[in-house]
Amino acid sequence: MLFKTYKRYTRDYSRDVFEEKTYYSYLNEAKAFIKFVTENDLSDIKSNKAMKQHLDENHELILNYLKITAYSKSSSTWRKLRRSLEVAFKASKLSEHAKNMKNVKNPAPIKSRAKNTNTKRRMQKMDENTYHTVLRDRINKKDIDASSLIIICKNLGIRPSEAKGIKILKINAESIIVYIQGAKKTLAGKRNEKNKRGIDRLLKINYNKSLEYALLSIQGIDDKRIKAAQMRISRTSRRLYPNAKKHFCLYSLRYQYGSDLKKSLTVKTPESRKKIAAILGHKNTSSISSYGDAVSGNNSFTPPSIHIKCLAEVNDNYEKNKQNIEELNFNLKTNNENINKGSIDGPNIG
């Protein structure tokens, strides 16, 4: 083992908390990148001491390449790579170099960064005809998991992975009450509620026979079945709409749900913003900007009721985040003008 074991790492860095599988995923990504940069196969290194020396001698080169890759990677992919390198250097007892990795800022202007291709291909403005066509296909194929997940995501706006954490609390002729366990939970969030990224929520929805059947049908579903259903839905969309640039998926229903919420509640007051965020399972109201827009919302949509304790968990940072984005865009515009005038040389990657 060229790096610290997970057990040793968590003992040495007790505040740096994540799952064991995440730790080894970070190390694998870091090793692949370091091999690419240094052109040395890390499998040829036989000891921890030799690995530490190799990373120490090449840390500036690795750091520079990290900056360069910002122009060819999406923001989230680049952040994960930066985090992987930070963990790898810490796992090699090079804490100062790890700190340098952690502190480096993405030098690429936001507009010039690569886009996440999976997200780019998702249908975000969904019409009812597409929804019913895909759903009917899955029902005709007797695909219970896929059809149930489509109905649930349409009516609850959940993340697909949250389907396994839905508990039915009450069903009567008037309403359905469900508890949804949030998917955005790191190990730190599980240990301390203050560190969690998403929230659980308790929702009350008007009674819907199809929703009742769907909820009962997916009890006991796991990640493997959810992923398999997502793949079948994706293939169905491509088969039914072969020429479409964007395709239907379960996240399309979440985007549309966000649009419907914004149409019915608006984002102009802290109360309505917090309600939208809570229903979608977000801890911060700034996160709702990623899901839908009021223009695409459905006029006939009735938002669910949410428990007051769930609302209390939401932090309203929408206006602050909006102001930060406006300031960032202004700075980028100023820098671009200076570059065009020849007053600066662009981002320093040295």
The reported pLDDT for the residue numbered 1 is 59
Residue 166 maps to which CATH number? Answer: 1.10.443
The reported pLDDT for the residue numbered 194 is 56
Q: Print the domain residue range for 185.
A: 120-319
Question: For the segment 260-285, what is each residue's pLDDT rounded down to a tens digit?
Answer: 999 998 777 888 999 999 999 998 88
Looking at the structure of the chain, the number of domains it has is: 2
Count of other CB atoms within 10 angstroms of residue 275: 22
The reported pLDDT for the residue numbered 285 is 87
**Contact (Cβ atoms closer than 8 angstroms) between residue 151 and residue 211:** yes
Per-chain mean pLDDT for the chain: 85
The reported pLDDT for the residue numbered 19 is 85
Domain boundary among 90, 112, 134: 112
Question: For the segment 95-146, what is each residue's pLDDT rounded down to a tens digit?
Answer: 999 999 999 999 988 777 877 655 567 888 888 999 999 999 999 999 999 9
Q: Rounded to an integer, what distance in angstroms lies between the CA atom of residue 29 and that of residue 24?
A: 9
Are 167 and 88 members of one domain? no
Find, among 63, 50, 139, 51, the residue nearest to 101 by Cα.
63
Are 38 and 137 members of one domain? no
Report long-range pairs for 94-102 (Cβ below 8 Å, ≥24 apart): 94/52, 94/55, 94/56, 94/59, 97/55, 97/56, 97/59, 100/59, 100/63, 101/63, 101/66
Query: Quick check: is 88 in a domain?
Result: yes
Are 134 and 260 members of one domain? yes
Q: Rounded to an integer, what distance in angstroms lies between the CA atom of residue 151 and that of residue 139?
A: 11
10 conformational bin, left if phi > 0, alpha if psi -120 to 50, beta if neither? alpha
Query: Quick check: is 196 in a domain?
Result: yes
Are 260 and 133 members of one domain? yes
Are 10 and 151 members of one domain? no
Question: For the segment 176-207, what is each residue's pLDDT rounded down to a tens digit?
Answer: 999 999 876 555 555 555 556 689 999 999 99
Higher per-residue pLDDT: 91 or 344: 91
Are 314 and 186 members of one domain? yes
The reported pLDDT for the residue numbered 149 is 98
DSSP category for residue 36: H
What mean pLDDT is predicted for residues 77-94?
Answer: 94
Question: For the segment 10-32, what is each residue's pLDDT rounded down to a tens digit?
Answer: 888 888 878 888 999 999 999 99
Q: Rounded to an integer, what distance in angstroms lies between the CA atom of residue 176 and that of residue 103?
A: 47
The reported pLDDT for the residue numbered 88 is 93
